Amino acid sequence: MREAHPVERQVGMEYYASDADGIGGVLRVEPEDFRVRELERFDPEPIAADPGAYGHLVLRVTLRGWDTNDFASRLSDALGISRERVSWAGTKDKHAVTTQLFTVRGVDPDDLPEIRDAEIEALGRAGRSLGFGDLAGNAFEIRVRDPDRPDGVDAITGELRAFASGGRGDGEAGGDGNEDGDGIGTGTESAAGDDRGDPVGANDGAAGKNGPIGVPNYFGQQRFGSLRPITHRVGLRVVRGEWREAVLAYAGTPFETEPEETREARAFVDDQAASDEPDWRAALERMPSRLGYERAMLHRLAEDGAETDADFRRALEAVPSNLQRLFVNAAQSYAFNRILSERLRRGLPFHRPVEGDVVCFADRDAPDGVVVPVPDADRTQRVTGRRVEIVAKHCERGRAFVTAPLVGTETELGGGEPGEVERDVLSDLGVEPSDFALPGNFESTGTRRAILVRTDVGIERDPLSFSFALPSGSYATVVMREYLKAGPLDL
């Protein structure tokens, strides 16, 4: 089993599913190299609908080089409204060309501004804002620049097909992965076998004809920070009730990948934390103005005091509510990645359950035309010994998915060896489900998430490009890392 890049191991991604050498290369030299289009599951009313009953304007926006949060702030500023009135279903990467939906409350189409590198189209109206459940998935078109070994694509594809079906990889693109046309995540059929159109991007002869590839459904590096993977460390401190340590981990803790001025400011925070009489005002003055969240925390420490856990919790609450939630979400994601890595290490299957696993079933309400099976984490079942083979058949057909926990207060851990893996990881991290009963935006009830993601991949050779679709919450970089086997900064 091939070990992952050292930076990936810091966020719990410890192995690759494929052993073949990577093709090398880099992604996102230009934003156009990485295109993302949402697979929507949100049907707006017409523009002419009563704005009293349908007070949210629905927009389809194509962005070039925009972080989703930054664009939402820019849009709200241009409209002269609170950022809280802007909503979206999925956060997208900055270094890309992305097409996604937004809703804006209390705005008319004539109010829409012109914003650089943004094409804004008013689609209609809705009676509520967009949420995560309104996104079925994303379709990707990704170019790899300057690959070192482009001919290695076939061997990797063959191994990933084998991983998708539990078969033996033979190093060929047409390997002995799932080839029986049963529509498991191939984008050509639903789990029940009904026609749902052509697969996204199935445009090459070698790949896309003989069944889906599969990869562990890791949370990608972006979840934790590509240059400074720190959010999960902060979140683990929060979950353990270590509020002081959480603030200092975020505001301090310099990384070599950061600019010198930033490293020096963070090192000064660390020095103050170790001092008997910390000067948080001086730390605030040294922190660069572009680091607004760190400055907000330090400002509260300087103004309100830093004597008790409550003081440090209030400092952490100086950042936006979505970032507060992200800290805890990142801790959950890190634990999830660790569970998947341990499952790989032990040789437990991903494509089918073993006794004690918890599975979820396919979303029965997924809209027609969505080319990837969508897991429904609200419909779960513990797999007992006598039902293993029955449930395995459902997994083979894309009707069920083996899961692992995103641990929270309502998490029910698995049984058997899968449950042992889950408990061992949580014990090593020093957390348990009840620890997520936290104040305000830090609380989480938890859920479960599929451990395997399968998709058809279309490949063009000149230039080397990949196209595929993934369910919401899954990361394209988790697919591409198997091909490039490069560091996160090249993804």
pLDDT in tens, 107-142: 999 999 999 999 999 999 999 999 877 888 999 999
Q: What is the CATH number of the domain that holds 281?
A: 1.10.1510.30
Last residue of a domain, one of 256, 287, 319: 319
**Residue 293 forms part of a structural domain:** yes
Query: What are phi and psi for residue 139, nearest 5 degrees?
Result: -105, 135
pLDDT in tens, 365-420: 766 555 677 899 999 999 998 899 999 999 999 999 999 999 999 999 999 999 99
**Residue 113 forms part of a structural domain:** yes
pLDDT category of residue 168 using cuts at 50, 70 and 90: low
**Residue 433 forms part of a structural domain:** no
The residues near 44 (Cβ < 8 Å, ≥ 6 apart) are 58, 123, 124, 125, 126
The answer, yes or no, to whether residue 362 has pLDDT greater than 60, is yes
Report whether 247 contacts 270 (CB < 8 A): no
The answer, yes or no, to whether residue 264 has pLDDT greater than 50, is yes
CA distances from 333 to 80, 182, 338, 487 (A): 35, 31, 9, 19
**Residue 158 forms part of a structural domain:** no
How far is it, in rounded angstroms, from Cα 165 to Cα 190? Answer: 17
Q: Which domain holds residue 282?
A: 226-319
Instruction: Give the lowest-confidence range in 56-70, 177-191, 207-221.
Output: 177-191
pTM: 0.88
Instruction: Give the lowest-confidence range in 173-182, 260-269, 336-345.
Output: 173-182
- Residues with catalytic roles: 93
**Residue 175 forms part of a structural domain:** no
The answer, yes or no, to whether residue 183 has pLDDT greater than 80, is no
pLDDT category of residue 197 using cuts at 50, 70 and 90: very low
Structural domains of the chain, count: 2
**Residue 236 forms part of a structural domain:** yes
Q: What is the CATH number of the domain that holds 82?
A: 3.30.70.3160
**Residue 24 forms part of a structural domain:** no
Report whether 444 contacts 370 (CB < 8 A): no
Last residue of a domain, one of 254, 286, 319: 319
Last residue of a domain, one of 137, 167, 190: 137
**Residue 284 forms part of a structural domain:** yes
